[in-house]
Amino acid sequence: MFLFLFVLQAIVAAALVGVVLMQRSEGGGLGIGGSPTGLMSARGAADFLSRATKWLAILFVALSIALAAIAAESGGQDSITSTLDRSLPADPLGQAAGGTAQPTAPAADPAPGADDPLAGASE
Secondary structure of 18-56 in the HEC alphabet? HHHHHCCCCCCCCCCCCCCCCCCCHHHHHHHHHHHHHHH
The pLDDT mean for the chain works out to 73
For residues 59 and 9, is the Cβ–Cβ distance under 8 A?
Answer: no
From residue 46, how far is each of 8, 23, 37, 123 by CA, in Å? 25, 7, 12, 85
At residue 47, the pLDDT reads 84
Report pTM.
Answer: 0.49
Q: Higher pLDDT residue, 5 or 42? A: 5
